[in-house]
Amino acid sequence: MEDRHISSLFDNDLEKIQAHIMKMGGMVELAISNATKSFVSKDIELAEEVRKGDVAIDEMETLINEEAARVIALRAPTAIDLRIILSVIRVSGNLERIGDYAKNMAERTGILIQMHDIENAAKSLRRLTREVGLMLKDALDAYVRREVTLAYEVISRDNEVDQMYNGLFREFVTFMMEDPRNITGCMHLHFMAKNIERMGDHVTAIAEQVIYIATGELPKELRAKADYTSGYKEK
């Protein structure tokens, strides 16, 4: 009877934490969408909303980690239960980083608005963020429903994001070579594109947690990273 009671308490705690994860995921999805909209429509106020909203995303990560630590301390979960709690911490960390990249995009919007427009840049970046946004939605769905097949699908789709990013990088290099006036703007656009590509990597890490919960192991490398650019690094 006591074991059943403890199990019930753990299930209640887990349900609460996963509700926080989904709320945080929704906040991050909105941040990505609004960061893109602010750039495409040259909306400084919306960009500022994204920047300020990152504080709430950070606070949600802290709340989730505190709740997860409390559950580990009180319930002493083992096996798959422990894997679930550890995955919660990792997923919230990846969501927080995606939120940071959305904020970085929004911060560059104010700079780019004052510069010469680069042909098709807004359309290309919007297409890239749309793909990452869909990946994030599916990764979160896979996490909540424990759908390993969908998680593997999300991981494989990151190759498409890498290829799109590489194509954008080549376009920006071409624009810079054709007209030196494009150099500063294209550099900012490249950083934005790289932020989006890194979002895709963190979405992939979320999908990997679904597989970790089911098997106890992270998946083996399914793909070679297709980033052939200059070695730019993000923290």
Q: What is the pLDDT along the chain (235 residues), one digit of tens a residue?
A: 445 445 678 888 888 999 999 999 999 999 999 999 999 998 999 999 999 999 999 999 999 999 999 999 988 888 888 999 999 999 999 999 999 999 999 999 888 888 777 878 888 899 999 999 999 999 999 999 999 999 999 999 999 999 999 999 999 999 899 988 889 989 999 999 999 999 999 999 999 999 999 888 888 765 545 454 544 444 4
pLDDT at 228: 44
For the CA atoms of the chain, what is the radius of gyration? Answer: 20
In a domain, 109, yes or no: yes
Q: State the DSSP H helix or E strand holding residue 60, giving kind and residue range, or none if neither.
A: helix 44-75
Query: In total, how many domains does the chain have?
Result: 1
Cα–Cα distance, 68 to 49 (Å, whole number): 29
Cα–Cα distance, 190 to 145 (Å, whole number): 35
Read off the tokens for 58.
């950070």
Q: How many CB atoms lie within 10 A of CB 53?
A: 20
Cα–Cα distance, 46 to 109 (Å, whole number): 10
**What is the identity of the amino acid at 43?**
D
DSSP code of 115? S
Structure-derived torsion over alpha carbons of residues 52, 138, 215, 76, reported in degrees to the nearest 10:
40
Q: Which domain holds residue 182?
A: 2-215
Residue 117 in 3-state DSSP?
coil
In a domain, 19, yes or no: yes
In a domain, 130, yes or no: yes
In a domain, 51, yes or no: yes
In a domain, 7, yes or no: yes
In a domain, 228, yes or no: no
CATH number at residue 162: 1.20.58.220
Q: How many CB atoms lie within 10 A of CB 195?
A: 23
Cα–Cα distance, 99 to 103 (Å, whole number): 6
In a domain, 209, yes or no: yes
In a domain, 231, yes or no: no
Q: Are 152 and 211 in contact (CB under 8 A)?
A: yes
**Closest-CA residue to 132 (of 162, 107, 88):** 162
What pTM, to 2 d.p., does this model score? 0.89
Q: What angle do CA 163, 164, 166 make, to 5 degrees?
A: 65
